[in-house]
Chain A
Amino acid sequence: MSNAADKPDAFPKTMGTWIDRQLQEGTLGRDVVNRHIMSVYAHPLKVYFLGSSMRTLGEPDDMVDGFFASRLQKESYFDQWKESGLRLRRWLMNGFLFHLKEEIRRQKRHGDSSLDQELDSPVDASPDLDFDRAWAMSMVQGAWKDAASSCEEEGFGNHWQLFIRHHVDGLPYKLCVEEFDVSPSQAAVMVRTATGRFKDALRMRILLDGLHEDDVDGELLRLMEIMQ
């Protein structure tokens, strides 16, 4: 997602549309899609794995990398997702679970006798909830990076820095005005510009999970609730 040309832009309204457009570009487009999927969903899947009863199967990196390697190059993988009607993250989580079960069978075939006992060990938290929390975190982190580079590319680097100083470092606006040596109204423009970039980037990432525009606010509220 670092190359501006690869970035899902404001035109596609759903992940399906964006994926279709990229896949029409052949191998390069498929690589773009796969990079997006891995950048957004790898960490939540690892969190999910660590919270599940299957966490003793191996290292989270190996499990998630193995899952992506086995699925993302399949020609029909995204067609199957669209036919499923599922949100992309649910589709990936289901696929990941299936992949882990395949891994259990593979390890059993290789005679790992301790596996059954290990898989019965209790887990501390709901892996689904952990996955959603990690996904929310991933959405915000990705939107942050998109908005930061968008501001930087268009000469609004200071706007973004003021936004970070206020929203991350907790510096009151009054002090931001002094620190950036701008008038209050200039600061207002800077804040609104950076906030708008972040908001657009975040909403786009939510949309790309397969949601309709009208449902984005509801999804954001749900994610806020589970982050509490």
Chain B
Amino acid sequence: MNTTDRDSMEKSDPGSLDGNSVTNFLQLGIEQKNRPVDRLIERLKEADGESWLQSALEDSPSSWFLSLEESPDAAELEEFKQQAKVTFAEADEANTRLAGLLQYLFVIAAGLNYQGALLSSQPASEISATLLDLAVALPAPWNDFIAEAAMSST
């Protein structure tokens, strides 16, 4: 960061906020409760979180989930997304359901990173917030991949 940028930032003052900015800041104060991603993040934080992540990615529809190499094309992503949705919806236990969610969010991130496309009907800002939270809970190399996607549209 250069000196000009820092000077510019130091001039930022809450006294200069307009109504729209205040609304956006108020929005940041709202508690996000009971989002599925919060349960996923809790699972990743458990003592066996890393091994659970490893097996959830190994059990996914493609080796790409584990390696993040050889990016899937649009048709493959669509297929992975449908499979992840089915896994999520039809799971009869929490771990499988969360694995489906994890795979789904990986596909959404891939859409953003590889195609610049939002493969979800959810608002971009919600997807971005979800991916940002997930990125913080993931180890490398997946954390950067998910964070990059979170930051691609906002």
Contacts and interface: CB of A to CB of B under 8 A. Distances in A.
Interface of A: 133, 136-137, 139-141, 143-145, 161, 164-169, 172-174, 176-177, 179-181, 183-185, 187-189, 191-192, 195, 198-199, 202-203, 206, 216-217, 220-221, 223-224, 227-228
A200 to B, nearest CB: 9
Interface of B: 1, 5-6, 8-9, 12, 14-15, 17, 19-31, 132-133, 135-136, 138, 140, 143-144, 146-148, 150-152, 154
10 contacts: A144-B25, A164-B9, A172-B151, A181-B1, A183-B144, A185-B135, A189-B136, A199-B29, A206-B29, A228-B23
A216 B31 contact: yes
Nearest to A227: B23
B143 A185 contact: yes
The dominant DSSP class at the A interface is helix
A17 to B, nearest CB: 20
Given A164-B12, A168-B12, A192-B133, A202 B29 contact: yes
Contacts of B24: 167
B81 to A, nearest CB: 22
A122 B95 CA distance: 64
B128 to A, nearest CB: 8
Nearest to A140: B25
A168 B15 CA distance: 12
A221 B30 contact: yes
B115 to A, nearest CB: 16
